[in-house]
Amino acid sequence: MEKNKKKSLIKNKSVICFKNCIKENQINEIFITMGVLFKFYFPELFQWLPKKITLKIWKLRKFQESIIKARKKSKKKFGKIYDTIQLSSSVKKMMTSKNIMNIVEKYTNIKKENFICFNSVIRFDPPFDERNSVDWHYDLYPNSEKIDPINGISVVVALHDIKIEHGSPIFLLNSNKTKIKMRLRTKYDNKSDNYKLEKEYFKKFKSKIFEINIGDVLIFPMKTIHKSGKNVSNNVRISGLFRYYPINKKGFTALKESYIPIE
Ligand SMILES: [Fe+2]
């Protein structure tokens, strides 16, 4: 009886915020890697970076201005930073950390050893940016519209406080419980992909904005429709996104990572 209770119920899950469960040090490590990459690609803009970087740097005006300038200066170099940071040990370490994997296990009732982890992404969303904003969508299984990611899990980690003005994420609650078709339109030139969803469904669901604080973790089924709010603050929103799929559940399809040098 006890065993039956533990079976996967992802389909019935909603968005949950686990407060303050990422340690400062885990976030520091990501900012340190960011510093190394920014210094490597934009030495003229980031020479001033202190030797010891911590998460507090996000609040420094100079750090914010330097990122905004870097992005304007070279989209290509900024894109290289974006692609490279995803492979960094600090980001992979956070993605597979005990605290996040415990949340994934608790949320799904599926043992953490059963999951593959993919799409480790650190997103940079500058103020008033349209180029990389992503409209309503649900998260897809990598590079496939055909696979229904019915048992996939997405996680958002707040690397600083993300208030409404920074563009906190908005969810259509329970939208994961209805079958909704979505088409993916891949964009190039360092732009984010775009999605097309049948908008008629939207009125059916209640939307909810999740303001999150540094160290908070949002967890939700990949099929929950969501988007980011508009960043109307002065600061670049920086957030960690991770995805998990249980190997022994419907929708799992074998995957391989591939690495392409960016010239
Ligand atoms: Fe998403």
153-192: pLDDT as tens digits: 999 999 999 999 999 999 999 999 988 888 777 666 656 6
**Distance of CA 237 from the midpoint of ligand 1 (Å):** 15
**Distance of CA 117 from the midpoint of ligand 1 (Å):** 15
Backbone angles phi, psi at 53, to 5 degrees: -100, 135
Alpha carbon of 260 to those of 80, 90, 95, 257: distances in Å?
11, 21, 22, 10
**Distance of CA 137 from the midpoint of ligand 1 (Å):** 6
Query: In the prediction, which pLDDT does 192 show?
Result: 62
Q: Which residues contact 110 (CB under 8 A, 6 or more apart)?
A: 8, 104, 246, 249
Q: Which two tokens stand for residue 53?
A: 């970087």
**Distance of CA 98 from the midpoint of ligand 1 (Å):** 23
pTM here?
0.92
Residues whose CB is under 5 A from ligand 1 (ion)?
139
**Distance of CA 142 from the midpoint of ligand 1 (Å):** 12
The single-letter DSSP state of residue 191 is P
Q: Domain residues of the chain, as ranges? A: 2-246
pLDDT over 70 for what percent of the chain? 94
Average pLDDT over residues 86-91: 97
**Distance of CA 155 from the midpoint of ligand 1 (Å):** 9
pLDDT digits (tens, 9 = 90+) for 11-23: 789 999 999 999 9
**Distance of CA 167 from the midpoint of ligand 1 (Å):** 13
**Distance of CA 199 from the midpoint of ligand 1 (Å):** 17
Q: Within 13 Å, how many C-alpha atoms sit on residue 208's CB side? A: 14
**Distance of CA 242 from the midpoint of ligand 1 (Å):** 10
The rounded mean pLDDT for the chain is: 92
Q: Which CATH superfamily is domain 2-246 in?
A: q2cbj1_9rhob like domain (2.60.120.620)
